[in-house]
Homo-oligomer: A and B are copies of this chain.
């Protein structure tokens, strides 16, 4: 088993994997899907309505999110239900929102001076 040393520089391969992981949240449609699934498990049709994108698009982005490890799926009858695979994803989104909010605040302050 390979250990995970946060402070050590990563190998090129590891770095690319991490970059790919963040790529998962770098698209508005995928971000909305993740947000929707943080509230509750949903099937594809429900997601199509929730995020306002085409079925094809949602399916594609779900494949991407699945590959990145954000979501998992299970079949229930003719539906396929997706859910967030790891609760830590919620924390990541929360931190990001806080940072963005504070950053926007700083920018607002600066323009006043």
**Chain A residues with a Cβ under 8 A of chain B:** 2, 4, 6-7, 9-10, 12, 15-28, 30-32, 35-36, 38-39, 50, 69, 85-86, 88-103
| Nearest CB on B from A30, distance (A) | 8
> Contacts A4-B101, A98-B4 known; A9 to B26 CB distance under 8 Å?
no
Q: Are B9 and A35 touching (Cβ within 8 A)?
A: yes
| Identical copies of this chain, number | 2
Q: Can you identify 16 A-B contacts, CB atoms within 8 angstroms?
A: A4-B97, A6-B93, A9-B50, A10-B32, A12-B28, A17-B100, A18-B97, A22-B24, A22-B96, A26-B26, A69-B100, A69-B103, A88-B95, A88-B99, A92-B96, A95-B95
For A32, what are the chain B residues with a Cβ–Cβ distance below 8 Å?
Answer: 9-10, 15
A110 CB, nearest partner CB in chain B, Å: 11
- B15 close to A28 (CB less than 8 A): yes
Identify which of B4, B22, B38 contacts A26 (C-beta below 8 A): B22
Docked Cα-Cα span, A99 to B93, in Å, equals 13
Please state if B27 and A19 are interface contacts (CB–CB under 8 Å).
Answer: yes
